Amino acid sequence: MLLAINYHKKVRDYFKKQTKTWNYFAVDKNKEDQLQQFKTELLKNTYKFDETADAFIYEKVNLAKQKLGLEQLPVTVYQAQYTDELNANIVYLNNEAHIVFSGSITKILNEQELLAVLSHELTHIKLYTVLDGDLEVADRIITSIANNYASDAAYFETARLFRLYTEIFCDRGAYSVLENIDPIITSLVKASTGLENVNVESYLKQADEILFQDNNFKTIGTSHPENFIRAKAIQLWHLKKEDSEKEIAKMIEGFIDIDQLDIFKQEDLSQLTKKFIQLLLKPKWFKSTMVLSQSKQYFPNFINDDNVLLNEEIIETLRNAHPSIKDYFSYVLMDFALVDPALEEIPSGWAFQFAEDLQLKDAYDEVVKKELKFSDKKLQQYKQKMLAAYYEVKESDSEQIYDG
Domain ranges of the chain: 6-253, 263-399
Model pLDDT, residue 213: 63
Model pLDDT, residue 300: 95
Whole-number CA gyration radius for the chain: 27
Distance CA 227, CA 251 (A): 12
CA 177 → CA 5, 66, 201, distances in Å?
A: 18, 9, 21
- Residue by residue, pLDDT tens for the chain (404 residues) are 789 999 999 999 999 999 999 999 888 655 456 557 777 788 888 999 999 999 999 999 999 999 999 999 999 999 999 888 899 999 888 888 999 999 999 999 999 999 999 999 999 999 988 899 999 999 999 999 999 999 999 999 999 999 989 999 999 999 999 999 999 999 999 999 999 999 999 999 988 887 766 555 554 443 344 788 899 999 999 999 999 999 999 888 877 788 889 999 999 999 999 999 999 999 999 999 999 999 999 999 999 998 899 999 999 999 989 999 999 999 999 999 999 999 999 999 999 999 999 999 999 999 999 999 999 999 999 999 999 999 998 777 667 777 65
Which residues, in sequence order, are bridge partners of residue 79? Answer: 47, 101
Closest CA to 207 of 224, 219, 190: 219
Model pLDDT, residue 327: 97
pTM passes above 0.85: yes
Contact 139, 158 (CB under 8 A): no
Model pLDDT, residue 191: 93
The number of C-alpha atoms within 13 Å of 327 and in the hemisphere containing its C-beta is 12
